[in-house]
A = this chain, B = another copy of it.
Amino acid sequence: MSNAPVITPEQLRVHWQGHRGLTRRVIEAFPEDQVNTFSIGGMRPFGALVQELLAMDIPTMVGITENSWKTSFDRKPQTKAELLAEWDAHTPRIDAYFAKVRPEAWQEVMNAFGYFEGPAINILLYIIDNEVHHRAQGYVYLRALGITPPPFHER
């Protein structure tokens, strides 16, 4: 097997933080009075989806770094300003945890929250994909509200 890396840990960090910057802009684009109420087809409002992301991002980095997997989805609704403030507070913490991950850890099989077992890289990719998935729900909600979402390709 070649030692040429497919992706480096630093590229993975930048990739995720690029997505997180875009998700932040989608939160910003929501009207305050719709972020916790607007819904289509019985799905959760965007504020609740963002809270799911906030309940998983740091706990995942703690898990990959320390192999200790704990989180709680028992959260109170937050205003748009509170969501943005917590989002921003997580940004440097994610960077700090990335700096602590042992390079070998990405291929170590872990059990994330008793829910998903696989190499750490698969767990983090799931977390990023889940963010892209829920953010895209936010895109549809914004369009349905007559609001142009931020461009998908800008990170």
Contact = CB atoms under 8 A, between A and B. Distances in A.
Interface of A: 1-9, 11-12, 15, 19, 40-43, 103-104, 106-107, 116, 119, 121-122, 125-126, 129-130, 132-137, 139-146, 152-153
Contacts of A12: 6
Contacts of A107: 4-6
Nearest to A133: B136
A146 B12 CA distance: 37
A137 B41 CA distance: 12
Contact of A152 (B6, B133, B141): B133
Contact of A6 (B6, B135, B144, B146): B6
Given A7-B121, A41-B145, A133-B135, 17 more contacts: A2-B103, A3-B3, A4-B106, A4-B107, A6-B6, A6-B7, A6-B8, A11-B122, A41-B142, A43-B140, A43-B143, A129-B132, A133-B133, A133-B152, A136-B136, A136-B140, A140-B141
Contacts of A6: 5-9, 12, 103, 106-107, 121
Given A43-B140, A136-B137, A122 B15 contact: yes
